[in-house]
Amino acid sequence: MPITGLYTAILATIIFMLMANVIRYRRSEKIGLGDGGNESLRCAMRSHGNAIETIPICILLFAVAEGNGVSHMVLHGFGITLVIARILHPWGLLSSANVTFGRFFGTVLTFVTMIGLIGVILVNVVPKVF
């Protein structure tokens, strides 16, 4: 599953960068646990947490879709969309705890990717089951 592998590596790199950002804030502010009331650390933690909450299920959906013969072009379309989404979301959240362009469109594009992958999986799998 080379396409799933490609996007897994890219998205894991994003998760790693978000994790490193949390560590950087913790070290600079000397906060060992929690956010210590620091809004910047809280936003960094939520950026990382949100990625951890959404990326693994998307990778699973990619693997199932690819394993069921979904077109490589379709998978790349979803993959590129998800990578853009997962860059926009933390960029927006790290700039402000309020709703921002990046946070809003990162969320929307993540939802579109998830729903789209679920849809193509169902279209490809349901006929094979029955």
Q: Is 88 helix (H, G, I), strand (E, B) or coil?
A: helix
pLDDT 10s digits, 11-49: 999 999 999 999 999 988 888 888 888 888 899 999 999
Phi, psi of 33 (to 5 degrees): -145, 140
Question: How many other CB atoms are found less than 10 A from the CB of residue 24?
Answer: 12
The dihedral built from the CA positions of residue 111, 85, 88 and 49, taken in this order, carries a sign that is positive
Amino acid identity for residue 99 in this structure? V
pLDDT band at 102 (very low <50, low <70, confident <90, very high): very high
Q: Measured between alpha carbons, how far is 89 from 75 in angstroms, rounded to an integer?
A: 21
- Mean pLDDT value across the chain: 93
Taking the mean position of all CA atoms in its chain, how far away is CA 4? 14
Contact 68, 125 (CB under 8 A): yes
Q: Which domains does the chain have, with CATH numbers?
A: 2-125 (1.20.120.550)
Helix (H, G, I), strand (E, B) or coil at 122: helix
What is the pLDDT at residue 1? 78
* pTM for the predicted model, two decimal places: 0.90
